[in-house]
Structure 1
Amino acid sequence: MAKIYNRKGRRQLEKLVALLPGVQDSLDEARFEVAARAEALLLQHRQEGHASIDVEDGDVDKYVVLDDERGKQAALSIEYGRAESVVVRKRKDGSTYLDVMPASDGLFILARAANLPKKRKGKVHLD
């Protein structure tokens, strides 16, 4: 039976194993599958076409990202939804009006693509 000595420390050992070529190849395959499913789900709901699915590499991990930097920067709202909000806007003539943004349910694109449970972000209370 082989013995494993903890000479590098637990974190260093985990990183060493995670960086093995076979492990990284498996992560690449899993990321590709999740990204493909996410892109298909996003295409079903695309309205203006600003949001996109991107993939990124971390030091060890692989990421699938819902990106909306080119549009309204609404990736969080696309994923988790949003509550109704009211914004006061000014017209060119100086008068003001209320612009109501209706509530919308989250699409959970990334959560569904990765087969994760759908969880709405908790409310933040500033007391």
Structure 2
Amino acid sequence: MAKVYKSVGGRKLTKILALNEAVQAELDVRTFEIAVRAEELLVQHRADGHARIDIDEGRVDRFVVLSDERGQQAALSIEYGRQASVVVRTDKDGNDYLDAVPPMDGLYVLATAAHLPKKRKGKVKVD
């Protein structure tokens, strides 16, 4: 009967496998493919926004990121959509006014690009 060890030389077997050169190369390929698909989907909907697709690299994992740091920081709304709301804005003279923000369906750019199910984020309760 074979014996499977949880660690080798003090390192977890899962970590050793994850850091394998071939595994890391495949992660790079798949991350790039997802990022390209996500960028294609985002470009189809971009009017004048600043959102972009980035790739971040951790020690083991890769991340495809929808970033809107240069714009309205609306990446979450772009991905999952938003409900209608009213916000207080200030004009150039310093006067406050109410502005209606219309609802928007999510584009699910990252979920679609990664072939994941489209799930809307649940509401967060604030007590």
Could you tell me how far apart the structure 1 residues matched to 2:6 and 2:71 are? 49
Q: 1:65 is paired with a residue of what secondary structure? A: strand
8 Å Cα contact 2:53/2:66 also seen in 1: yes
Tell me by how many angstroms 1:8 deviates.
4.2
Residues 18, 91 of structure 1: alpha-carbon distance in 2 compared, 3 angstrom cutoff = closer
- Measure the CA separation in 1 of the matches of 2:96 and 2:7: 68
* Aligned-pair CA distance for 1:33: 0.7
How big is the shift at 1:97?
2.6
Structure 1 position 91, deviation (Å): 4.1
Q: How does 1:1-127 map to 2 (within 5 A)?
A: 3-8=3-8, 12-91=12-91, 95-127=95-127
The structural deviation recorded for 1:98 is: 1.5
Evaluate the alpha carbon distance shift between residue 92 and residue 67 of structure 1 in structure 2; reply closer, same or farther with a 3 A threshold. closer
- For the aligned residue pairs, the C-alpha RMSD in angstroms reads 2.0
If the length of structure 2 is used for normalisation, what is the TM-score? 0.89
Mapped partners of 2:93, 2:40: distance in 1: 44
Number of residue pairs the alignment of both structures matches:
126
Residue ranges of structure 2 left out of the alignment (5+ in a row):
none
Shift of the 7–44 alpha-carbon distance from structure 1 to 2, 3 Å rule, reads closer
